[in-house]
């Protein structure tokens, strides 16, 4: 697959790095080692939140501004890293879903970047980060039915017209990572307040963590 970034999205300051991680094996990871890695990331993030709360974090505020620039209702739709960190502030931990998701969430709470992973076997054709026109299909993870798509937002959309991630907020049932996932399309997204170098560093860190635990080969798609 290829990745396409629409100029109408990029000109608002959205910045990201994207890759494929292929032929990995989630079962090869030691569960205790995964838990230990995530526990340490959570402890570091708690320490960081004691100094800079979610409401004052410059990267998270950058996502708020990005949403405002696209007329997204910011009170209801928070970026994925903000949702994780608010959960952490309230409960002292992040949700534990599975080794692959837990590890990229751990990287997300430390970098404040929006990270995502999509089962490549269920992505149809290429992926475009573009403005929505309202005709796309969108079935969020955990939702019983598809939901309507607002025109004028940005979304990651495959060639079948399916949204695989709305903004950097909601991923979908179609491409969710499971224990049987072998290859994934990886998203590392920032905003106008994150430099290209910072996004590249977050991207490379994610790839290092995931490949270190699960193996696989990397196929770069796009770097800022």
**pLDDT tens figures, 65-112:** 999 999 997 677 899 999 999 999 999 999 999 999 999 999 999 999
CATH number reported for the structural domain that contains residue 169 in this entry: 3.50.40.10
pLDDT greater than 80 at residue 168: yes
| Cα–Cα dist 156/190, whole Å | 14
pLDDT greater than 90 at residue 207: yes
Arithmetic mean of pLDDT, 132-156:
96
Could you tell me if 141 and 159 are in contact, meaning their C-beta atoms sit under 8 angstroms apart? no
Question: What's 120's DSSP letter?
Answer: G
How far, CA to CA in Å, does 222 sit from each of 78, 128, 162, 169, 195? 25, 12, 21, 21, 15
Q: Which residue blocks in the chain are alpha helix, DSSP H?
A: 7-10, 31-51, 58-69, 80-91, 99-111, 196-214
pLDDT > 90: what percent of the chain?
Answer: 97
Arithmetic mean of pLDDT, 107-120:
97
How many structural domains comprise the chain?
Answer: 1
The whole domain housing 96 covers: 3-222
Arithmetic mean of pLDDT, 139-154:
95
Arithmetic mean of pLDDT, 137-157:
96
pLDDT at 5: 97
**pLDDT tens figures, 33-68:** 999 999 999 999 999 999 999 999 999 999 999 999
Rounded to the nearest integer, the mean pLDDT of the chain is 96
pLDDT at 41: 98
């Amino acid at each position: 697959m290829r990745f396409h970034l629409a100029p109408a999205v990029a000109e608002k300051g959205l910045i990201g790095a994207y890759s494929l991680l292929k032929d990995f094996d989630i079962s090869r990871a030691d569960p205790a080692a995964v838990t230990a890695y995530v526990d340490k990331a959570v402890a570091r993030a708690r320490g960081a939140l004691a100094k800079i709360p979610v409401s004052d974090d410059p990267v998270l505020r950058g996502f708020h501004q990005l949403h405002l620039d696209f007329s997204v209702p910011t009170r209801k739709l928070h970026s994925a890293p903000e949702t994780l960190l608010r959960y952490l502030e309230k409960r002292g931990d992040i949700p534990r879903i599975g080794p692959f998701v837990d590890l990229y969430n751990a990287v997300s709470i430390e970098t404040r970047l929006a990270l995502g992973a999509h089962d490549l076997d269920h992505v149809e054709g290429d992926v475009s980060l573009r403005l929505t026109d309202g005709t796309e299909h969108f079935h969020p993870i955990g939702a019983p039915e598809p939901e309507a798509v607002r025109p004028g937002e940005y979304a990651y959309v495959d060639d079948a017209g399916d949204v695989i991630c709305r903004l950097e907020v909601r991923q979908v049932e179609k491409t969710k990572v499971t224990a049987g996932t072998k290859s994934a399309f990886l998203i590392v997204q920032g905003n106008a307040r994150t430099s290209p170098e910072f996004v590249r560093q977050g991207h490379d860190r994610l790839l290092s963590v995931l490949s270190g635990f699960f193996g696989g080969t990397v196929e770069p798609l796009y770097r800022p």
